[in-house]
DNA sequence: CTTTCACCTTGACATTGTCTAAAATACTAA
DNA sequence: TTAGTATTTTAGACAATGTCAAGGTGAAAG
């Protein structure tokens, strides 16, 4: 992955130490973290970063399309470094959220929904991940 | 629909005025209300009902399977009088949430997800409802 | 050096949701 | 009826999520 500074520059966001700390964690994170998760981890590299700055940076990244945001978990929005279209599987035992590649599932019948103009959609699955 | 008292009795929940006010609103509501929506409306019929009782009653109804709960909107869980399996369409302009009958959509390919045991799933769509 | 400007921090605030202690209510049995 | 017990309700405390405004810091420009 490109380094945080280049990514920020490319989107016309000034690369400050606080923003770099947020970006370095959240854009390579595979765990669908909450804002508070990001805050905790960003603090390790930048101990003075504030909650407000974390929220501001996350919202900025989402606006710029560098970061996804999902409202599939109770209590807090989660952020998603994977900005390609994909589905989600939620392990109800552990709370872990897994990405399901877009082409693994096909949703048929959307054309029949005459009253609705669909901008985007995804399949949300709940269950348990099989231990291998 | 059966009356609130019978419904509560049938589930071994004592029908108190507070619970009746909650049930009468939430079980015939088609708008996917939040707990606070239910609180506001229940107060009209039972002006003394407290927030705690509304939450307790909603959680009881969900436990008993009389009410659905969905985490598809930011900020608050929503409740769903429709306990049949179905999908959801969210109008991003208005925030309104529409039920999509289960058999209108078909999700193919779940069998390929060997690592996951799926308990339930649904399709979540975002877009705009066409004005007729 | 002074002004300006973007950024950051702090803390206040609103909202959601849970929990507890005490009051109110309803059932039960003498 | 009356006393006692169990259930329910209420008010408020509390924690967590998220937004916002006020003021501080620091660099760049004049
Ligand atoms: Mn974490
Ligand atoms: Mn309402
Ligand atoms: Zn994802
Ligand atoms: Zn529904």
Q: For the segment B41-96, what is each residue's pLDDT rounded down to a tens digit? A: 999 999 999 999 999 999 999 999 999 999 999 999 999 999 999 999 999 999 99
Nearest by CB to residue A72, choosing from B71, B114, B130, is B71
Query: What was the pLDDT predicted at B1?
Result: 65
pTM of the predicted structure, to 2 decimals: 0.92
Residue whose CA is minimally distant from C19 C1': B52
Neighbours of ion ligand 2 (CB under 5 A): B 37
Q: What is the pLDDT of residues A74-107, one digit of tens each?
A: 999 999 999 999 999 999 999 999 999 999 999 9
Size of interface A-B (CB pairs under 8 A): 111
A63 contact to strand D (CB, 7 A limit): no
Residue whose CA is minimally distant from D8 C1': B16
Q: How far is the CA of B53 from the C1' of C30 (A)?
A: 34
The class level of CATH for A4-80 reads mainly alpha
Q: Is B48 exposed, middle or buried (0-12, 13-18, 19+ CB in 10 A)?
A: exposed
Beta-sheet strands, E only, within chain A: 68-70, 78-80, 86-91, 97-101, 106-108, 116-129
Contacts 24+ apart (CB under 8 A), B102-107: B104/A109, B104/A112, B104/A113, B105/A107, B105/A108, B105/A109, B105/A110, B106/A107, B106/A108, B106/A109, B107/A105, B107/A106, B107/A107, B107/A108, B107/A123
Domain ranges of chain B: 4-80, 86-127
Query: What was the pLDDT predicted at B131?
Result: 83
The answer to whether B105 contacts A100, with C-beta atoms less than 8 Å apart, is no
């Amino acid at each position: 992955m490109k380094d945080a500074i280049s990514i920020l520059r490319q989107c016309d966001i000034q690369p400050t130490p606080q923003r770099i700390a947020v970006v370095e964690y959240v854009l390579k994170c595979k765990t669908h973290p909450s804002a508070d998760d990001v805050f905790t981890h960003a603090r390790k590299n930048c101990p003075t970063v504030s909650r407000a700055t974390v929220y501001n940076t996350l919202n900025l990244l989402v606006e710029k399309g560098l970061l996804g945001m999902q409202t599939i978990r109770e209590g807090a929005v989660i952020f998603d470094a994977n900005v390609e279209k994909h589905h989600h599987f939620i392990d109800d035992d552990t709370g872990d959220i897994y990405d399901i590649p877009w082409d693994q599932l096909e949703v048929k019948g959307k054309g029949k929904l005459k009253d609705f103009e669909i901008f985007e959609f995804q399949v949300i699955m709940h269950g348990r991940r099989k231990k291998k």
